[in-house]
Amino acid sequence: MANMEKPVPFADGAKIPVFGIPRTIKIIPHTSRTTDITLTDDALEVRTSRADPSSNIRDFLFSLLRRTIEPMWKGHCATLNKSVYQVVLRDTRCRWGSCVPAGKLMFCWRLVFAPMVIVDYVVAHECAHLVQMNHSKKFWDLCDTLSIDMENSRAWLNANGDKLMMYGLAR
Ligand SMILES: [Zn+2]
């Protein structure tokens, strides 16, 4: 991946977008062994006794994305009269999602950094593949009916996708 973007590790003071809204990571030391993470309007508050809670932050964002996309794909399944037996989140570099037509969806966990309309588009795209396992005109027409703003979302991902790959990387 050729990129001009600088890595943004999950560290105190780092700014990361969560569903497109900038949040500052605030690491608040505490003595309990459990790490508690709270998402506020402008921050990700991490109460932890760990020196490096970046894996906890990643786990938090994973489950946030999982919870957020669940009603999206469930809604599309109902519309399309299709069922999905598994949804997995991966750390993929070159694709935002994939679909096995028998009912398995995969999404890149870094979608959690993208605006909600973009997440909506990627979920709609993969769900449309449950019906059309290709990128034919029929596929795009279906995808367009499922997603809120397909054309602008595709353009946004082309322009900003690399940036989403840089969060949480320590180099
Ligand atoms: Zn596709």
Ordered by start, the domain boundaries in the chain are 15-164
Tokens of 27: 């690491």
Residue 164 phi/psi, 5-degree rounding, is -65, -20
Cα angle, residue 121 at apex, residues 98 and 89 outer, rounded to 5°: 40
Tokens of 10: 């999950």
Cα 90 to averaged position of ligand 1 atoms, centre (Å): 16
Task: Give the CATH fold of the 15-164 domain.
Answer: Zincin-like (3.30.2010)
Cα 84 to averaged position of ligand 1 atoms, centre (Å): 17
Tokens of 79: 């519309």
Q: Quick one: average pLDDT of 16-36?
A: 96
Tokens of 94: 């070159």
Distance CA 170, CA 45 (A): 19
pLDDT at 85: 96
Cα 57 to averaged position of ligand 1 atoms, centre (Å): 29
Cα 162 to averaged position of ligand 1 atoms, centre (Å): 18
pLDDT in tens, 65-111: 999 999 999 999 999 999 999 999 998 877 899 999 899 999 999 99
Cα 44 to averaged position of ligand 1 atoms, centre (Å): 32
pLDDT in tens, 112-152: 999 999 999 999 999 999 999 999 999 999 999 999 999 99
pLDDT bucket at 160, cuts 50 / 70 / 90: very high
Please state the pTM of the whole predicted model.
Answer: 0.93
Cα 136 to averaged position of ligand 1 atoms, centre (Å): 10
